[in-house]
Structure 1
Amino acid sequence: MNQKEQDISLFQRYLSLWVLLCMVAGVLIGRFIPVFPVILGKMQIAGISIPMAALIWVMIYPMMIKVDFKSIREAGKNPKGLFITWITNWLIKPFTMYGIASFFLFVIFKGFIAPELATQYLAGAVLLGAAPCTAMVFVWSRLTNGNPAYTVVQVATNDLIILVAFVPIVKFLLGVSNVTVPYSTLFLSVFLFVVIPLAAGVVTRNLVIARKGERYLGNVFVHKFDNATTVGLLLTLILIFTSQAEVILSYPLHILLIAVPLIIQTFFIFAIAYGASKAVGLPFDIAAPAGMIGASNFFELAVAVAVALFGTQSPAALATTVGVLTEVPVMLTLVKFANKTKAWFD
């Protein structure tokens, strides 16, 4: 093992420690350099952070280089992974989120949370549950060596379903009549996190193959970005916890209480999709992303809708913010679990 491989191995081995340090660093920056989160808050378009968008590009660009359109066409010939994704995200996830969050907020934690607050927290949880992830799925897929072309199809079809299913599900579960989808957030997210990086990846792929050949692309070029995804994730964590430092320090107990059902829901949904993929005989590189799509959330959409419905300072908006805070650490845990259980699919 050469020095570079040793450094990468050491980096990955202590990833949990780096994650914790980045979370603490983010809170400290937000607390003692308050101008920083203010600047971050202004660098947004339709509720999407531009610095975070740039980091997500860094994380998913290497995966998009691996995508070729022949593989995308082949995805339709093996639709089991798509069916699992759709069923998990739209027929199971929003309703289990409602049930699990209700149980904890109104029963287990009733001595700590007033009923009025619990109702608003439940609303935020439901908004998260009805908004499956778009951008970060590509990161989790890359970290599990998922099938890049199939993941693109899973995400793209999921985004189309959001257009027709999000509002009816939220209205049904919350009884709120004036739910509107911020389409600017939805379409911008798809454009930023699917269209642009996919186009960049395809152009890069074709250029490298034309000049150096496909073997060079797979054996040399893509490995130049081996650490980019992990470094991008850690920097994303710092940005998230910097921007939310005031919330974390102001409501520490309620954040912990809200996080419990959200984390349980995440593991539960992953188990359903991952287990179903194993049951129907899907390969690991399709099963892992299928589990990740259901487990993670489109938090930009959830936060935007919570703010529009209940206000910026509302408890519902706080609950969606907790979803942002728990997303990366919890999903990294699932990535680690998936990689350790890859042999189940061999």
Structure 2
Amino acid sequence: MSGFERYLSLWVALAMAGGIVIGAAVPALVEAIAAAEVARVNLVVAVLIWAMVYPMMVGVDPGALKDALRQPKGLAITLAVNWLVKPFTMALLAVLFFDHVFAPWIAPEDAAQYTAGLILLGAAPCTAMVFVWSQLTRGDANYTLLQVSVNDVVMVFAFAPIVAFLLGVTDIEVPWQTLLLSVVLFVLLPLLAGGWTRRRLGTPERIADFQARVKPWSVIGLIATVAILFGLQGQVILSRPGVIGLIAVPILIQSYGIFALAYLAAWLLRVPHRIAAPCALIGTSNFFELAVAVAISLFGLGSGAALATVVGVLVEVPVMLSLVGFANRTRQGFPEAG
């Protein structure tokens, strides 16, 4: 992990502060960016999201799918946690905290927005950063690639129905056309473009070199998107700074709870640590780029849903580093620990 990635939460926090300053100093600029929409998709943010997502999708290897039955326990845990557990526990925690525990301090319309943002986070399993977490735990790189590739294929078909169902259950209006358009724009098309790029590059060495060269654009896209979001959200945050902490609470509980579930399942099933650790970390981490993009498309740049997804970015890196440390300290409890 590079120094820049290790301190991603710091850069995100600085982008938040910078966005608030820009929003206060040059509000017309941020409003002009927010107005650049076609079919409820913000054009500026769409470019930035592609800058984030496309380098990750180049790393997805469809050829790895043929190895899906190798060490099936690890893959089964990943799929079960990501698609049968995580979206629903995140929705449950969001409703519990924003409709009940935090109800005295948050208006109902804001609570609905924060709930929607957390649902989007919970339904988007990690695609890129998990390779970093896998490396830090000495995980099996090829098997991690397999898990991510299978997850991305499932995501194309499962993300929209799960999000629509959970938003519907929580009485949040679901603009189906916008949701499906977001999945096509920010999952399917980048996945196809990434596959085309892999074929053009040919060798693993050229693919790795290409990813290294375009990776900075992914971080730049994230930082710029966060700055724009907080430029629009500045007045809300300055008037109620505690809202960031409130949004972080269910995210923290979800993160540590999901890791514990997946890691324990892998330990009980005697999955080797080099597979068990990335397996648990994939379920814990989020594809926050997709969550941010869909939140903006569905609810707007200035929405509470978009704000909630960005808080997920702020929380994720320190949480994941703490879990990497725990996984490394407990390596000896798993088979093939060497």
TM-score by length of 2: 0.72
Per the alignment, residue 222 of structure 1 pairs with 208
**Selected match of 2:226 from 241, 264, 272:** 241
The alpha-carbon distance between structure 1 residues 283 and 76, as it changes in their structure 2 partners (threshold 3 A), is same
The alpha-carbon distance between structure 1 residues 304 and 138, as it changes in their structure 2 partners (threshold 3 A), is same
Answer whether contact 2:256 2:284 (CA < 8 A) is retained: no
Cα distance in 1, alignment partners of residues 307 and 37 from structure 2: 21
Cα distance in 2, alignment partners of residues 189 and 163 from structure 1: 12
Cα deviation digits, residues 78-109 of structure 1 (max 9, x gap)? 43334323322333223322332233334443
**Paired AA for residue 321 in structure 1:** A
Answer whether contact 1:81 1:277 (CA < 8 A) is retained: yes
1:174 aligned onto 2:159? no
- What residue ranges of structure 2 are gaps of 5+ in the alignment? 136-140
1:31 aligned onto 2:27? no
- Which deviates further from its counterpart, 257-266 or 109-118? 109-118
Per the alignment, residue 154 of structure 1 pairs with 151
1:87 aligned onto 2:76? no
**Selected match of 2:183 from 178, 183, 186:** 186
Question: How far apart are 1:140 and its partner, in Å?
Answer: 2.6
Question: What value does the CA root-mean-square deviation take over the aligned residues?
Answer: 3.7
Question: How far apart are 1:50 and its partner, in Å?
Answer: 0.9
Question: How far apart are 1:261 and its partner, in Å?
Answer: 1.6
Secondary structure, counterpart of 1:186 in structure 2? helix
Cα deviation digits, residues 257-307 of structure 1 (max 9, x gap)? 223223322332233234323433155356425533454154146515752
1:331 aligned onto 2:320? no
Cα distance in 1, alignment partners of residues 47 and 301 from structure 2: 20
Cα distance in 2, alignment partners of residues 301 and 27 from structure 1: 20
**Selected match of 1:276 from 261, 265, 283:** 265
Per the alignment, residue 51 of structure 2 pairs with 54
Cα distance in 2, alignment partners of residues 176 and 43 from structure 1: 22
Secondary structure, counterpart of 2:127 in structure 1? helix
Cα distance in 2, alignment partners of residues 26 and 255 from structure 1: 11
Cα distance in 1, alignment partners of residues 115 and 277 from structure 2: 30
Map 1:95-110 → 2, pairs under 5 A: 95-110=88-103
**Selected match of 1:196 from 182, 193, 196:** 193
Cα distance in 1, alignment partners of residues 208 and 47 from structure 2: 25
Per the alignment, residue 130 of structure 2 pairs with 140
The alpha-carbon distance between structure 1 residues 224 and 116, as it changes in their structure 2 partners (threshold 3 A), is closer
Per the alignment, residue 5 of structure 1 pairs with none
Answer whether contact 1:72 1:153 (CA < 8 A) is retained: yes
Answer whether contact 2:78 2:282 (CA < 8 A) is retained: no
Cα distance in 1, alignment partners of residues 211 and 116 from structure 2: 40
- What residue ranges of structure 1 are gaps of 5+ in the alignment? 1-7, 210-216
Map 1:294-313 → 2, pairs under 5 A: 295-297=285-287, 298-300=290-292, 302-303=294-295, 306-307=298-299
Answer whether contact 1:58 1:228 (CA < 8 A) is retained: yes
Q: What is the aligned length? A: 309
Answer whether contact 1:270 1:295 (CA < 8 A) is retained: no
Cα distance in 2, alignment partners of residues 22 and 312 from structure 1: 17
Cα distance in 1, alignment partners of residues 93 and 110 from structure 2: 16
Cα distance in 2, alignment partners of residues 192 and 52 from structure 1: 12
Cα distance in 1, alignment partners of residues 192 and 245 from structure 2: 36
The alpha-carbon distance between structure 1 residues 331 and 284, as it changes in their structure 2 partners (threshold 3 A), is farther
Per the alignment, residue 138 of structure 2 pairs with none
Secondary structure, counterpart of 1:49 in structure 2? helix
Question: How far apart are 1:35 and its partner, in Å?
Answer: 5.8
Answer whether contact 2:119 2:167 (CA < 8 A) is retained: yes
- Which deviates further from its counterpart, 253-262 or 220-229? 220-229
Secondary structure, counterpart of 1:260 in structure 2? helix
Answer whether contact 1:19 1:234 (CA < 8 A) is retained: no
Cα distance in 2, alignment partners of residues 114 and 43 from structure 1: 28
Cα deviation digits, residues 102-158 of structure 1 (max 9, x gap)? 3333444343224554355334433443x224xx52233245334223311122123
Per the alignment, residue 214 of structure 1 pairs with none
